[in-house]
Amino acid sequence: MRKSTPAPKKKMLEEYRRKRDFDVTPEPSGRPNSRNGPKAKLLYVIQKHQASHLHYDFRLEWRGVLLSWAIPKGPSLDPSVKRLAVQVEDHPIEYGSFEGVIPEGEYGAGTVMVWDKGMWLPEVSDVDAALAKGELKFQLFGNKLRGSWVLVRTRLNRSGKSQWLLIKHRDEYATSEDVEAAMPQSAASRRLMADIARAGRGDVTKAAKADPAGTPAR
Ligand code: MN
């Protein structure tokens, strides 16, 4: 009997895999986590967020959501600098392209910029185990951030929000340059915070304080 809806892709792959021995056949297994790492592209994004306090929301796509950390001082390219990253609730994937103004009175009211975006690649074979252990090593392929990084959990808050540290590993992308000051424009629109606030009828004066002094408007 014909079904009106096609079988889910996952189920079709299960059958595909059941019929094959990938230790023997050179055919692809189609597994997202093979020994060579994930084949799927995983989204990475940092949103600069001028809410009650300026912070940078660091997000990594995993299992259909964006794992999220709020980093008050933003990332540092200097391996000797450890930046506090407070884990917050998972966000939907679509959130990664949001740039605009969250209205006054709403949660997180203020200006949001897509400060950096690209892909990430785990450096571990088991991301879930690494997250549970509290040490996730990965590579970033963004417009601004690149190379090898680690998130290390330091403690759990009473609220259940855990504190982590984001640290740059030593590689060719490590530098003492202040990346927030050097590259303040949106990775999505090239706009500054003030530009985004103005377009979204937000608080331009407050947003402008998050732009480095003397940065020319677009
Ligand atoms: Mn935020």
3-state secondary structure 95-156: HHHCCEEECCCCCCCEEEEEEEEEEEEECCCCHHHHHHHCEEEEEEEECCCEEEEEEEEEEE
Per-residue pLDDT tens digits for 41-59: 899 999 999 999 999 999 9
Number of independent structural domains in the chain: 1
Q: Please, which pLDDT band fits residue 159 given cuts at 50, 70 and 90?
A: low
Q: How far is the CA of 97 from the centre of ligand 1 (A)?
A: 14
Domain membership of residue 154 (yes or no) is yes
Q: How far is the CA of 157 from the centre of ligand 1 (A)?
A: 18
Q: Which letter does DSSP use for residue 7 in this model? A: P
8 pLDDT higher than 70: no
16 pLDDT higher than 50: yes
Q: How far is the CA of 80 from the centre of ligand 1 (A)?
A: 25
- Residues 126 and 200: their CA atoms lie apart, in Å, by 41
**The whole model's pTM is what?**
0.80
Domain membership of residue 7 (yes or no) is no
Q: Please, which pLDDT band fits residue 14 given cuts at 50, 70 and 90?
A: low
How much is the pLDDT for 119? 97
Average pLDDT on 161-189 reads 95
> What percent of the chain is modeled with pLDDT above 90?
67
Q: Please, which pLDDT band fits residue 213 given cuts at 50, 70 and 90?
A: confident
Which domain range does residue 115 map to?
A: 40-208
Domain membership of residue 25 (yes or no) is no
